[in-house]
Structure formats: structure tokens, C-alpha cells
Amino acid sequence: MKIFDNRSKKFLTVTAIFLVIGAALFVFQLLHAEKVLTILPIDPANGWIGYVTYSLIDEVAGSFILAAIVAIFFDVSLRSDMISELNQLVLDAQRPREFNELRMSRNMFDTDMSKDISSLQPGQSLALIGTSQRVVFSDKPGIAGIAEKVRSGVHFQILVLHPDSMIVPCIQNLSKDFGFSDLKASLQETYLGRIHSLGELLKSDQPILGSIEVRLLKDLFSPFSLHKSPNLTLVGFYFAHESGTQCPVLSLAEGEFKEQIQKHFDRLWTKSLQNVLLKADQGELTDNTHAVFELPNDAASH
């Protein structure tokens, strides 16, 4: 789309001619009209013909100038609207570029997420939001793979649901139809069975160059899941009629939407400071899984 097409150029040319004619007549009327009409001879001061002619020149000059001004005003207004529309078109064209791919099931990204975690280099970070991140702690890549990355220098920031969160009964009311009859028990299995075991792995004498911190969302809630690393950003939806792992996921490119996602995570991360489940950083280990759930007798005996 061209802002200045041939029709616009013609319109501007005609407007300019109107403005020049009006200005010329106005100057003529001010400086020379009375002398010229007297020579013809038409006396604008005494004869009605001269008076009418003199007034007509004045009116025509004003009309040409007014027409040019009005035309310029409307042209600028219309052009401003056109520029606004063009800006909107540019934004609309850019937004699809912020989304790399949509897959209709989170399971379809499991391999991508596992490979992404495995490819993380020392100094890089991974941010996760989920109900419990059971899949990540189980086998994609699992606690051994996570421990290896933490030792090598990778940083993990993970947000999961607190078992006493007010949202847990709401999720369970829906998830019981998808095979999770007791969400709290599922959280307990992940936190005590996997996250606690991860803390035990990190207690070894091997140096920890990176860090991992798992925080609990108690009086907070995220309407979507998140996997965000330097190379892969995934946002997962939650639908009432499907298990979370069966809901669609968007892969994001760089852009404003991705920036808003980061701000969302940062806000939740800051607000959950007092609910640390597990933290390992530079040799210091904090494991609060005992405080969240009572360890079973067989686990407490070890």
C-alpha cells in the first residue's frame, strides 16, 4: 500500500493550485484591484459595478484559500487514519512471527523439552511452571539428569503447586475425570518421591556449579504452564475438558508476548519467596519437603 499514490499526487497538485490562485487574488485585491478597476474605467468607490467586482474578487480569493485549507485538513486527517491502519497492519503481521508452532498436546513436546534440558550449557537458566512437573522429575530428563546439569553450572527455577493451595480442590474436581482421583497424593508422590530424592543426590561431595530452586505457589496461580530456556519457550494451556498434558501448547519466538510471559514468571517467583520446597546453590542445600508433607515411616527410617 502506497501512502502517496498517483491520485494523492493529483489531489495535492490541485490543492496547491487553489491555494496559489486564492493567495494571488487576495494580494491583487489588496494592492492593485482598486487601481485596475479605475483604469477600465470602473470605480469601486462610486459605481455599483466596481463595488460588485471588487467584492467578487475578495470572495473568490477567500473561497480558493478556504477550499485549499479544508482540502489539506481532510487529506491530513485521512492520511493519519491511513498511517494508523498501516501501523496496525504491521503489528498484525509481526504477531504471528512471535509464535513458532502450535501443537495440540503437551505430550507432543516431551521429547523437545527433554532435549532442550539436556542441551543446556553452564551459565544458562531454565524456568518452569506446572502443577508438579512430574514428567520432568520422572524421566524427561529425570532427577539424575537434573542433578548432573546443576552440578555442571545450569540454573533451574521451578514453580509448582503447594498442596494446601486453594486451587488444588478446583483442579482435582476436574482432574478426577482424567485419572487423577487424588491430586494431593500425586503431589506428595512427586515432592517426596522425586524432588526429595533429587536433594539427596545433590548432597554428594561433588561440587555444585549451578543451582536449583523449587518454590511453591500457595496463594498464587498461573493460568498456564511454562518451559522457558534460552532456546525453547513453551506456554501450555489448561482446558476444563482435558488433562493438562493433553492440552495445546504454543512455542514462542522473540517478541512482546514472550516478554510478558517473563514478567508473569518474575512476579510469581518474587511472590513465592517464602515457600521454598528445595534449594541447592553453591554447596548449600535446603530441603523443606518434610515440612510440606510428613515423610512415610519407611522413608523416615533411612
CA distance linking residue 65 with residue 251, whole number of Å:
58
Top-confidence residue, 6 or 135: 135
Asked whether the predicted pLDDT for residue 151 surpasses 50, the reply is yes
In what order do the strands lie in the sheet containing 249-252? 99-103, 249-252, 233-236, 225-228, 125-129, 155-161, 211-217, 276-281, 284-287
Task: Indicate whether 1 belongs to any domain.
Answer: no
Q: Which domain holds residue 151?
A: 104-300
Q: Evaluate whether 221 touches 162 at the Cβ level (below 8 Å).
A: no
Q: What is the pLDDT of residue 204?
A: 78
- Give tens-digit pLDDT for 270-290: 999 999 999 999 778 999 988
139 and 78 together in one domain:
no
214 and 115 together in one domain:
yes
Top-confidence residue, 86 or 208: 208
90 and 113 together in one domain:
no
Task: Indicate whether 272 belongs to any domain.
Answer: yes
CA distance linking residue 167 with residue 37, whole number of Å:
92
Q: What is the pLDDT of residue 245?
A: 79
Among the candidates 96, 118, 135, a domain finishes at 96
Number of Cβ atoms within 10 Å of the Cβ of 154: 22
291 and 218 together in one domain:
yes
Count of structural domains, the chain: 2
Q: Which helix (H) or strand (E) holds 60?
A: helix 48-94
Among the candidates 96, 121, 142, a domain finishes at 96
251 and 232 together in one domain:
yes
Q: Can you tell me the mean pLDDT for 114-130?
A: 94
Task: Indicate whether 49 belongs to any domain.
Answer: yes
Lowest mean pLDDT across 51-65, 164-178, 234-248: 51-65
- Give tens-digit pLDDT for 33-72: 455 445 444 444 445 454 445 565 556 656 656 666 666 6
79 and 181 together in one domain:
no
Task: Indicate which CATH number applies to the domain containing 238.
Answer: 3.30.870.10
Q: Which helix (H) or strand (E) holds 161?
A: strand 155-161
CA distance linking residue 106 with residue 90, whole number of Å:
31
109 and 91 together in one domain:
no
32 and 133 together in one domain:
no
137 and 260 together in one domain:
yes
Among the candidates 44, 70, 96, a domain finishes at 96
Q: Can you tell me the mean pLDDT for 211-215?
A: 96
Q: What is the pLDDT of residue 65?
A: 63
Top-confidence residue, 62 or 134: 134
pLDDT band per the 50, 70, 90 thresholds, residue 126: very high
125 and 273 together in one domain:
yes
Burial 200-227 (b: 16+ CB within 10 A, else e): ebbeeeeebbbbbbbbbbbebebebbbb
Task: Indicate whether 67 belongs to any domain.
Answer: yes
47 and 77 together in one domain:
yes
Q: Can you tell me which residue has the cell 546453590?
A: 281
Top-confidence residue, 86 or 266: 266
Lowest mean pLDDT across 11-15, 43-47, 64-68, 175-179: 43-47
164 and 37 together in one domain:
no
